Amino acid sequence: MAEYHLHAKTHSRGAGKGAGGHVRYILRQGPYAEKKVEQVDGSAMTKTRVSRADEVLHSESGNMPAWVQDPADYWDAADQYERANGSVYREIEFALPKELPDAVNILLAQDFAQRLATVPEGVTPYTLAIHHSEKDPSLLHCHLMLSDKVNDGIDRDATLWFKRAAASRTPTQKGKDKKPVDPARGGAPKTQARIGQDWLGAVVRPLWAELANQELAHAGYASIRIDHRSLEVQRQEAEQQAARLWEQGDHDAHRAALERVIALDRPPQPKRGRVLTHAGAEKAPDRAAMVLGYEEGSLQETEFKVR
C-alpha cells in the first residue's frame, strides 16, 4: 500500500558536498557514476566497479537561465557565487506510489516539481531525479532540488545572477515614491514565498498528498490514499470515528475502525539516510538499529479481538 514519505531540507553555501556535488549524486554522474560491488568466485572475493546509470529512471531540469548548458553548471555556480551562509537550494525527497506505473509516476513527479517551482514572482530553477530503491527496484523515490532564485527572463551571466537583486532607491525628499532601479543591474530576485511561513507544512506536504491521491484515484485505487498529517492526528481521528460507529451500532465498521487505530499506533517511519544505505550498518549503527526496530515491528501481527 502507498505510504506518505517526504523529507525536506534547506542547504546553505558550504554545507556538505555542496549543490554541485549533490546534483551529481542524484544524477549518478562524476564520482557517483559507479559503485563498488563484491563478487565471490569460489574462495576468492573481488571488488569491481559497476555503472549506476540504471538506478535513475528519469531526470530533468527546468526554468534554468540561458547560460546553463548542463544542470551541474547552475548548481556549481550556486556554490561559487551565492553569498556566504545564503540558501543555495532546497531539497525535497519523496516516495512515489508503488501502485502506479513508472510513466504515471514520472508525470506525477514532474507536476509536483513544476507546481513547487512556480511562485508568485515567477518560476525558479529545479532539477529532479527519480531513483529505483536499492532494497526493492520496483519502489521509486524522487529527489527534487529547488533554487530560490526567480528566473525573470532578464539576461544575466552566472556571476550577476547570484548577486543581490537591485533594490529601489529611497528618494531624498519626503512624500515621494522610491526611485525605480533597472532590475538588470542586479542579480535574479529570490522568492519570498518559501520563507516567513510554514511552507513545508502548509504547501508542500498537502500538495503532494493531493496530487498523489488524484493519480491513485484515476488509476482505480480510490480506496488507497496517503495522508500528510501526523500519525497522532490520524489516530485521534480514527478513534473518534470508531466511537461514532459504536454509538450507531455498526459493529463491523467499528471493528475496522479499531484496526485502523491500532495500525496508526506506531512511531513514524525512520529515514535510512545515505550513510546507512550506501556504507552499511557498521558505519551508522544507531540509525541501523532504529530502522531495524521499525521494520521488525511492522512485520509483527497484532491480534485484537472485540468482545
177-197 pLDDT tens trace: 666 789 999 999 999 999 876
| Three-class SS state of 135 | coil
Summarize pLDDT for 129-179 with one digit per residue, the tens: 999 987 787 789 999 999 999 999 999 999 999 999 998 666 655 656 666
Tally Cβ neighbours within 10 Å of residue 119.
16
Residue that has been written with the C-alpha cell 551529481 in this structure? 24
Q: DSSP character for 120?
A: T
51: buried, middle or exposed (CB in 10 Å: 19+, 13-18, 0-12)?
Answer: exposed
3-state helix, strand, coil in the chain (%, to 5): 40, 20, 40
Residue 14 has pLDDT above 50, yes or no: yes
Residue 264 has pLDDT above 90, yes or no: no
At the second CATH level, the architecture of 1-34+50-169+180-228 is: 2-Layer Sandwich (3.30)
User: How many residues comprise the chain?
Assistant: 307
Highest mean pLDDT among 152-161, 196-205, 269-278, 296-305: 152-161
Crossing angle, helix 251-264 and helix 231-248, to 10 degrees? 160
Catalytic annotation, residues:
25
Q: Which has the minimum average pLDDT: 71-80, 127-136, 244-253?
A: 244-253
- Domain definitions of the chain by residue range: 1-34+50-169+180-228
